[in-house]
Copies of this chain bind each other. A is one copy, B any other.
Amino acid sequence: MEDLKVFKIGGKVVDDPDSLRAFVKDFAAVKCKKILVHGGGKSVTEMSQRLGIEVKMIQGRRITDGPTLEVVKMMLAGVANKNVVSLLQANGVNAIGMTGADGDAILANRRPVKNGIDYGYVGDVERVSAHTISKLINLNLVPVFAAMTHDGQGQLFNTNADTIASSLAVGLSVYFAVELIYCFELNGVLRSIEDPQSVIQLINSNIYTALKEDKTINEGMIPKIDNAFDALNAGVRAVRIGSAARIGDLTREDMNFGTKIVL
C-alpha cells in the first residue's frame, strides 16, 4: 500500500500568518500523498465576540448554538480553509478545501445531551466516505479539511479537529498505509510541561497507563492520546505528536520527531 500522511494543525498555527506560512512550506515539502485537517478556534472566538455572540466552552469544547455555528462556517470553512488552500497552492500543493459535507466526506450525528450538557450543533463522527476521498487523493489532490461534519439532512456540525483527523486516518487505512500526525505548539508529549525538551519519544499501551497513573501526562493531552490509540487499534500504522514548527524533520525517516505512539 502507498503511504498517506494525515496531518492535523490547530488554530494557533492557522490563525497566525507567520506560523501558517512556515508550516505550509514544510508541509509542501513532504513527499507523499497527504491530507491536512485544521481547526481555527481562536478566530471563531474572536469573530463571535466581535458579533456580540456569547462564547461558551465546557472542558475546552465549544458550545455551538445556532449563531455560533454560523461563525464556525464563516471562520473555519470560509476564512481559515480558503487561506490554507490558497497558500498551499502558492507552494505547489494542489489542495482542495473540504468539510464533511463536501463529497459527503464525513457523516455525523448530533451529540446527544448528556449530564445536562447540550453542546448544540456538535457532531460525533458516524462514518467517513473513504472511497471518495481516496479517489481525490489519487487525482493528486490534497484534501484540506475544516473541522466540520454534516448529518446528510442539511445540517452542518462543528466537530473536534483531532477526531476528524483520526476518523479520516482510520477510514483511509483501507486504501493506504496511514500515518497520523498531530501538530501543535509543543515538541511532543512532555515529561515536564516546564521543559520543552522533555519529549517522551515513545508511548505504548503500558507506558501510557504508567504515565497516566503518575500524572505525568496532563489532562489536555489525554483525549489526544486516547484518539491515537483508537486510531492504531483501527488500522492506522503510526501516530506522531509533535511541533508544527518542526514538520520539516518528518521528511527524514531517520529523525525522531516528537512523540511516536504505537500499540
Contact = CB atoms under 8 A, between A and B. Distances in A.
A81 interface: yes
Nearest to A70: B79
Contact of A74 (B75, B95, B97): B75
Given A78-B77, A79-B70, A141-B103, A154 B89 contact: yes
Interface of A: 50-51, 70, 73-79, 81-83, 85-87, 89-90, 94-99, 101-104, 132, 135-136, 139, 141, 148, 150, 152-156
A20 to B, nearest CB: 10
A146 to B, nearest CB: 9
Contacts of A85: 99, 101-102
Oligomer: number of copies: 2
Nearest to A85: B101
Nearest to A86: B101
Given A73-B78, A97-B102, A132-B139, A87 B154 contact: yes
A127 to B, nearest CB: 14
Contacts of A96: 96, 98, 102-103
A82 B104 contact: no
Given A74-B78, A78-B75, A94 B103 contact: yes
13 contacts: A70-B79, A73-B82, A77-B78, A78-B81, A82-B148, A83-B156, A85-B101, A86-B101, A89-B150, A94-B103, A95-B101, A95-B102, A132-B139
